[in-house]
Structure 1
């Protein structure tokens, strides 16, 4: 979401920082998100996790640890030299789209630990049925398109390219200089 977040920060004239959150997948099905974790360890589990077949806790713990390590490694490669404190400010979380809300919920939890005055969520697209949840976890949720039929974020882009770590670091550096 950094290309979009960078544009938002530039228009608003505010600093740009990053919260890295990764989905936690079911050990038997890497496509099924059962939760999300941030680099600093804020975890959100899906309610669907409770309905999954019995799985030894250590498998979920291993999936959690793997996702967090991935997030930590990415943050280490991205982190700007000086991080900004959102304490007492309106913190705006921007993503390129929200599919399940798991990674956004983990990012909100991590951000709230830094005591902002408010947390706003912004994205170009999210499923309509996810909007009540987004409003529940934030003071404001701004989503441009909320289709009933939602298969994936990428379907709402002509070209949905993954942003590499080097490119992401450039976005952070350019906005904060």
Structure 2
């Protein structure tokens, strides 16, 4: 097996081959993490004959220590609060609500930027494949998936072209399935496994989402 991808589109085609068990099922939804996950997700959705949308997630930082996550929100009203962090920190409900309000504004701004006036897609009861261009620590993906759980999907599959060897162990307790094409060791950064790893633009995200809607049966 090759140990690199030409670009995100090539990575998506490789990833789609590993996801053929989910091909052409009416209840499958591909949620791509912007921005870099969208070209990958576009190819996955195209190959599986599935609907494509974006999963935008925002970490809920602890007041006074924003680098520490007390939870996360994600597209469609998904919310996860970590009871252990909240209990240990002693943060009040009012403080939580203030952080939530700020992050919901930013989440909505990004939703509008990528989705326009279209409402979020239905999650309840569906098989949701969450796609990114790779995983490093897995912290952001973990928060996004835990928030997504609040919308009651039937199954959550985390699918990436490349991740460290221990990524499945890190995420296995929250995802129903974990699919990864490359699990190299040593692993330093996602970009090292791509020949081309230029930043994906907002315009390209919008273009790929629009194209996928046109192509989806």
TM-score interval, smaller chain? 0.7 to 0.9
TM-score, length-scaled by structure 1: 0.76
Which is further off, 120-129 or 72-81? 72-81
Mapped pair 1:171 → 2:204: no
Mapped pair 1:6 → 2:24: no
The 1:56/1:137 distance shift into structure 2, 3 A limit, reads closer
SS of 2:181 mapped into structure 1: strand
SS of 2:172 mapped into structure 1: helix
Select the residue among 136, 141, 150 that pairs with 1:113: 150
Structure number, greater radius of gyration: 2
Q: Which runs of 5+ in 2 are unaligned?
A: 1-36
Which is further off, 9-18 or 78-87? 78-87
Structure 1 match to 2:74: 38
Encode CA deviations 1:27-60: one digit per residue, 9 max, x unaligned.
9999x77576535463577x9x9xxxxx9979x9
Select the residue among 161, 175, 195 that pairs with 1:124: 161
Which is further off, 67-76 or 6-15? 67-76
Does the CA-based 8 Å contact 1:4-1:94 persist in structure 2? yes
State the distance in 2 between where 1:33 and 1:159 align. Answer: 32
Select the residue among 172, 194, 214 that pairs with 1:157: 194
State the distance in 2 between where 1:24 and 1:146 align. Answer: 29
Give the alignment's Cα RMSD to 1 decimal. 3.2
State the distance in 2 between where 1:26 and 1:127 align. Answer: 28
Encode CA deviations 1:98-123: one digit per residue, 9 max, x unaligned.
11112211221232222111000100
TM-score, length-scaled by structure 2: 0.63
SS of 1:143 mapped into structure 2: strand
Give the 5 Å matches for 1:96-107: 96-107=133-144
Does the CA-based 8 Å contact 1:120-1:142 persist in structure 2? yes
Q: Which runs of 5+ in 1 are unaligned?
A: 50-54
Does the CA-based 8 Å contact 1:23-1:102 persist in structure 2? no
The 1:114/1:94 distance shift into structure 2, 3 A limit, reads same
Structure 1 match to 2:108: 72
Encode CA deviations 1:112-141: one digit per residue, 9 max, x unaligned.
222111000100011112221222111100
